[in-house]
């Protein structure tokens, strides 16, 4: 495999790199390899162990971007080999901006769709004996993890023309880590690069590779609770775990390919969360994608 050319920008007024500023939640899930593999092109070898790969989602709100203010939900199917490292593969991208959707499809080769993010803040009754996040306990931060008094519910509905499809409901706890000065603890500043593959879609048939250069303050938080499209939680007690197999096992030959893709996407979202990271003061620079040519019939990552 080799990178042979760089794709120029055509979606946003200004050329790459494209800068996005805001905040985000990056949540990692254990996704069944069979579900993830349905999204991964045959050219790639999935990174998996004991029948699972590492997927999840990236939920962001951008205050400033080439497309202005908008929300984004990137559903990550899994990780594929790209020796000597690995890259993420997005199963679906939801944005509430037509301009961002067009750019994602044409310029970055993403499976982007227009969606509505309906948000509301709901009060939660404090319950005695609630436990703090286990990861925070390991980090020695458990005692400062505040019991949330309210949480945010986000209902995500995808649009195709005039048709609307409910995708999921995301429940974000409002727990915070606070310093003695009562200021919100945002975590240490970090810089990192997140490489990804994309493309091979009806809007961009090329296989692409791009990277996101991220600067932010990062801290571990309690994972968001995800419920399926047929449930609308009204409070924290209404949210019960849903087996992702409920959607993946319902795939039938009679269903449309797009309907099966939606069900697999929901299955990824409902998979078991293992870590959630909150990105504050986020600055994300997205480089122009490069077209990738496979020089061998072997899957990427094979030796």
| 167's tokens | 């995708």
What CA–CA distance (Å, rounded) separates 61 from 69? 8
Residue 42 lies in a domain: yes
pLDDT greater than 90 at residue 76: yes
The helix or strand, by DSSP H or E, that contains position 116, with its residue range, turns out to be strand 112-123
Indicate the number of domains in the chain: 1
What CA–CA distance (Å, rounded) separates 66 from 220? 29
Residue 183 lies in a domain: yes
Q: What pLDDT, on a 0 to 100 scale, did the predictor assign at position 161?
A: 82
Strand partners, 31: 53
Beta carbons of 113 and 258 less than 8 angstroms apart: no
Residue 77 lies in a domain: yes
Beta carbons of 97 and 104 less than 8 angstroms apart: no
Q: What is the pLDDT of residues 133-172, one digit of tens each?
A: 444 444 343 444 444 467 889 999 999 888 899 999 999 9
Beta carbons of 65 and 164 less than 8 angstroms apart: no
The helix or strand, by DSSP H or E, that contains position 89, with its residue range, turns out to be strand 85-95
| Counts for the chain of helices (H) and strands (E), in that order | 5, 13
Report which DSSP code applies to 177.
B
Residue 303 lies in a domain: no
What range does the domain containing 56 cover? 2-293
Which CATH number characterizes residue 218's domain? 2.40.400
Q: What pLDDT, on a 0 to 100 scale, did the predictor assign at position 293?
A: 82
Q: What is the pLDDT of residues 270-285, one digit of tens each?
A: 999 999 999 999 999 9
């Amino acid at each position: 495999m080799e990178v042979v050319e760089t794709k120029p920008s055509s979606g946003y007024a200004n050329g790459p790199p494209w800068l996005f500023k805001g905040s985000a939640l990056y949540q990692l899930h254990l996704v069944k390899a069979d579900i993830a593999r349905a999204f991964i092109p045959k050219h790639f070898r999935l990174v998996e162990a004991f029948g699972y790969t590492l997927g999840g989602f990236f939920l962001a709100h951008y205050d400033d971007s080439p497309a202005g203010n908008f929300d984004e939900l990137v559903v990550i199917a899994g990780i594929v080999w790209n020796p000597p490292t690995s890259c993420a593969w997005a199963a679906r991208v939801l944005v509430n901006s037509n301009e961002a959707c067009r750019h994602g499809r044409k310029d970055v080769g993403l499976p982007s769709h227009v969606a509505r993010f309906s948000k509301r803040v709901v009060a939660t009754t404090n319950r005695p004996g609630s436990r703090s996040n286990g990861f925070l306990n390991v980090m020695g931060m458990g005692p400062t993890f505040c019991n949330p008094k309210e949480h945010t519910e986000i209902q995500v509905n995808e649009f195709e023309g005039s048709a609307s499809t409910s995708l999921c409901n995301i429940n974000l706890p409002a727990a915070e880590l606070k310093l003695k000065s009562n200021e919100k603890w945002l975590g240490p500043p970090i810089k990192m690069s997140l490489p990804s593959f994309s493309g091979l879609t009806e809007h961009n048939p090329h296989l692409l590779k791009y990277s996101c250069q991220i600067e932010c303050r990062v801290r571990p938080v309690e994972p968001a609770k995800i419920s399926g499209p047929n449930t609308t939680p009204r409070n924290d007690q209404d949210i019960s775990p849903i087996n992702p197999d409920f959607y993946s096992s319902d795939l039938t030959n009679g269903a449309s390919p797009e309907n099966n893709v939606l069900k697999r996407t929901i299955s990824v979202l409902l998979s078991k969360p293992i870590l959630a990271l909150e990105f504050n003061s986020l600055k994300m620079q997205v480089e122009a994608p490069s077209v990738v040519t496979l020089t061998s019939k072997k899957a990427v990552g094979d030796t």
